[in-house]
A and B are shown apart, each in its own frame.
Chain A
Amino acid sequence: MASPFVANWQTQARKGVLELAVLNVLARGRMYGYELAKTLQRIPSLVVVEGTIYLIMSRLEKEGLVTSSLEASPEGPARKYYRLSPDGAAVLANINSLWNALTAGVEKLQERSE
């Protein structure tokens, strides 16, 4: 069982990474909420509470980083599909490079400590 410190660290780390993951998934193409939640659920420890995805999508849409459209579904009611907006693509490029620099730096530190 994780210590409270680890659990708190994981929660904090997950928050920003989840948004990064959502934007990266949408960079590959449009997706509806349920599909997005299930895709992200496959990454270990990333999504603990699936409802969080819908909160993040609303926030990203309000920020103008994603756009949405209702489209008819052959399996039932219309689905809300999300797409990355041009602003979202620019933000994603920016945070991807920040992420890469960050992980590369931390990996180097880990190598030295091993």
Chain B
Amino acid sequence: MNLTPTGREALDRYIASVRRSVGSRADVDVRDVEAGILEHVEAELAVRSIELATSEDISDVLDGLGPPAAFDEGRGVAENEASQTRMGPAASMAAALLVAGLAVVGAGLVGSNMPVPGWLALSLAIVLARVLISSGADHRPEILALVIFWQVAVAAAAAVLLLAPAALVWAAAQIGGVLERPLAAATEVTGAGRPLRYWIATAQVAGAVTGIWWMLLGLLLLSLRQALPRMLGPARRLAPVRSAPVLLAAGGLLFILSLIGWLT
């Protein structure tokens, strides 16, 4: 599909609007909807024999598809009815899960001086919210869906902010602790003094280990690039999948630099 820059912009705006409108729904796959729309636009341009589509051409085709907010005609009314008639055990369980999820997010944040329980609590909050979204699928009122979305988003953001830096330096800290004594012995450190060569050797070992660790993390994220966004549901935009190539490259660079430093 050949588009002018403004045509591409118009199409991208529309697709982003589709994602906003449909993205949080459990009963449809937004990627399928996007792919269908792109296929439709392409077919329509071919029928009209348009070789290079301008923003006017794209707007004309998209007018036929209609505004994304109107894709699911009648759903709003049906859901309002559902919310009035289905506030039974399922809705109560969903609400209880929501409160539990929020509570563990709070516990995770408060318990930052106890990292392991805090991290576990944050992970549990994400899992709980995901279960809630799946179990609530077609029945939840819009306001609950919004609260769930923010719960997942906050939990994921907190997890990324707290866990990511810790995960990035974890290997270096662990290896540093294990290697401290042998390094001190190898660099002939005696007593409390630490000569410069000790710090250089420590930095080189820590750099090499951290480089390998980052590459492993990058490979892990790459292997999870399909599963991770699905697992995180509406918070998938916060998923650190895009950082995988950066992590791989940074890890490789750090490892090579440390190796060069070591050899010279």
Would B71 and A49 count as touching, CB distance under 8 A?
A: yes
Interface check B74, CB cutoff 8 A? yes
Tell me the bound Cα distance from A79 to B35 in angstroms. Answer: 10
Q: Which residues of A contact B39 (CB under 8 A)?
A: 32-34, 77, 79-80
CB of B36 within 8 Å of the partner chain: yes
B27 and A62 form a contact (CB under 8 A): yes
Give 15 CB contacts A-B under 8 Å: A11-B77, A12-B74, A14-B74, A33-B39, A34-B40, A48-B73, A49-B66, A50-B64, A50-B66, A51-B18, A52-B66, A53-B36, A58-B30, A58-B32, A62-B29
Is B68 among interface residues, defined by CB-CB distance under 8 A? Answer: yes
Closest CB in chain A relative to B221 CB, distance in Å: 27
Chain A interface: which size bin?
20 to 34
Please report B residues at the A interface, Cβ cutoff 8 Å: 18, 22, 27-30, 32-33, 35-37, 39-40, 42-44, 46, 64-68, 70-75, 77-78
Chain B residues, CB < 8 A from A77:
39, 42
Describe A's contact surface by its main secondary structure. helix
Q: Tell me which residues across on chain A come within 8 A of B71, comparing CB atoms.
A: 49, 51-52, 54-55
Find the A residue at minimum CB distance from B18.
Answer: A51
B72 CB → nearest A CB, Å: 6
Binding site for B on A (CB under 8 A): 8, 11-12, 14-15, 32-34, 37, 48-55, 57-59, 61-62, 75-77, 79-80
Q: Which residues of A contact B77 (CB under 8 A)?
A: 8, 11-12
Contact B74 A11 (CB under 8 A): yes
Given contacts A34-B43, A49-B67, A76-B42, contact A54 B73 (CB under 8 A): no
A100 CB → nearest B CB, Å: 22
Write out the residue numbers on chain B whose beta carbons fall within 8 Å of the beta carbon of A59: 27-28
Give every chain B residue within 8 A of A8 (Cβ-Cβ): 77
Q: Which one, A54, A62, A76, contacts B40 given CB within 8 A?
A: A54
Closest beta carbon of chain A to B91's beta carbon, Å: 22
